[in-house]
Amino acid sequence: MNSSHSPRTGSGFTAPAKKQLGQHFLADKYYVEKIVMAVDPKGDDRLVEIGPGQGAITFPLLRRHPKLTVIEFDRDLITPLTEAAAPLGELTIVHRDVLQVNFTELAAGGQIRLVGNLPYNISSPILFHALDHAAAISDMTFMLQKEVVDRMAAGPGSKVYGRLSVMLQAWCEVEALFVVPPGAFRPPPKVDSAVVRLVPRDPTSVGINDRKRFADVVRAAFGQRRKTLRNALNGVIDAAQFEAAGVRSDARAEQLEVADFIRLANLPHA
């Protein structure tokens, strides 16, 4: 089956889409404009776009903001991106796997703003990677599968509230912005997409004592989400700790607030 398309985006150049790199190029100017408006670049913002592709978002951003750094893994896109950007502004291209890019180093003591229509096959790893560098990021405007955005923004009691919701909401404010239909892309993905904004909280206000312990507790709690917490967290949290955290051990993970998980994980443990 041939998965390659050569779409017209009006963004300066076209290239065949590579499925293994999650390449679904945004081709609808209405949604490009909505994303650029959501980012709303200001004065000395340091914008970093993940996966510029054929530049659908890159070039409109560069027209608004004279400097932009992009991280792109596909070597076939580097030269065309460089050439098409030249008349517009200063584009710095980091030709690497985004998961290998140290955002803290990139921010060089300041903060960056992340933007991107993410490669959907690695969207969750990118989110967790960004969390590791949350102090160096002032905000993120990302497009992902709508189903993932629903999970990111879900609250307790929702069927899709889970590990991703708790981990992200502990470190960031999460706001789902708008839905983008498959027809806006070339080639169209099979699912709806959505744009989400994440604003990392001040790390000193998050209140998590030990990041790894927190991650372990949340993973274990949702690992068996149909079980009571007493069973799901057997060997991780004991009866006295439930008591001390003021959390009912006969509840299920999906009923707990983010703050409950933080209290449970902060308790002294063996």
* Binding of ligand SAM by 21 (CB under 6 A): yes
Could you say which residues in the range 68-107 bind ligand SAM, by CB under 6 A? 71-74, 97-99
CA–CA separation, 186 vs 170, rounded Å? 35
Look at residues 233, 199, 196 and name the one whose alpha carbon lies nearest to residue 213.
233
Q: Compute the least distance from the CB of residue 20 to ligand SAM, in Å.
A: 9
SS (H, E, C) 166-231: HHHHHHEEEEEEEEECHHHEECCCCCCEEEEEEEECCHHHHCCCCHHHHHHHHHHHHHCCCCEHHH
* Binding of ligand SAM by 22 (CB under 6 A): yes
Alpha-carbon torsion 21, 38, 208, 222, what sign?
Answer: negative
* Region binding ligand SAM by CB under 6 A among candidate stretches 18-26, 134-142, 163-171, 258-266: 18-26
Q: Compute the least distance from the CB of residue 229 to ligand SAM, in Å.
A: 36
Distances in Å between the alpha carbon of 139 and those of 136, 162, 255?
9, 22, 28
> Which lies closer to ligand SAM via its Cβ, residue 73 or residue 222?
73
* Region binding ligand SAM by CB under 6 A among candidate stretches 50-58, 196-204, 219-227, 240-248: 50-58
Instruction: Please count the CA atoms within 13 angstroms of the CA of 207 that sit on its side-chain side.
Output: 12
* Binding of ligand SAM by 169 (CB under 6 A): no
E strand or H helix at 142: strand 137-145
Site string for ligand SAM, 179-218 (x = CB under 6 A): ----------------------------------------
Q: How many residues bind ligand SAM (CB under 6 A)?
A: 22
Q: Compute the least distance from the CB of residue 54 to ligand SAM, in Å.
A: 6
* Binding of ligand SAM by 59 (CB under 6 A): no
| Beta carbons within 10 angstroms of residue 89's beta carbon | 16
Residues forming contacts to ligand SAM in the complex (CB under 6 A) are 21-26, 51-54, 56-57, 71-74, 97-99, 117, 119, 122
